[in-house]
Amino acid sequence: TMQQLMSHMTTRQRKFITHGDKYLKSMTRASVADMLEVHESTISRAVSGKTAQLPNGRIIPLSQFFDRSLPIRSEIRDIIDSEKKFLTDSQVADILSNKGYNIARRTVAKYRSMEGIPSARARQNLIKV
């Protein structure tokens, strides 16, 4: 099962493996279980506590292949890294909406916080100090 699982995941997620977080394709444990004709709990047990080393040397938990928020968090990181003026969560949500990600301002705030990025006001205050 593990060999089939890894073969399926590396085929489906090749761009993510070679190019980074924003290329992660949406994939659920249930869809992989259906594809491999096993129970969803089998997939959960197979990935639990296991890691993979990517070609760039980064080691990630196998569960990250099922993280739907990762590409959006990567986009948020890119938007904030390239901002010319400090963008609010609402402005970031609007930019994401233009890129096809329809998420709420509160979700942007949550993902920004998960990435360890301060709010626009806090980023602005960091520059002033």
pLDDT in tens, 65-108: 998 899 999 999 999 999 888 999 999 999 999 999 999 999 99
Structure tokens at 114: 């998960």
13-69: pLDDT as tens digits:
999 999 988 898 989 999 999 999 999 999 999 999 999 999 999 999 999 999 889
Question: Measured between alpha carbons, how far apart are the two ends of the chain, in Å?
Answer: 55
> What's the pLDDT at 127?
76
Helix runs in the chain, H state only: 2-12, 14-19, 29-36, 40-47, 70-81, 89-98, 105-114, 120-128
Structure tokens at 84: 């010319």
Where residue 128 falls among pLDDT bands split at 50, 70, 90? low
> What's the pLDDT at 51?
95
Model pTM score? 0.75
- How many Cα neighbours within 13 Å face the side chain of 104? 3
Structure tokens at 126: 């960091």
Where residue 129 falls among pLDDT bands split at 50, 70, 90? low
The dihedrals phi and psi of 59, each to the nearest 5 degrees, come to -105, 125
Tell me how far apart the alpha carbons of residues 119 and 111 are, in angstroms, rounded to a whole number.
11
Residue with tokens 């301060």: 118
Average pLDDT over residues 114-122: 93
Neighbours of 54 (CB within 10 A): 12
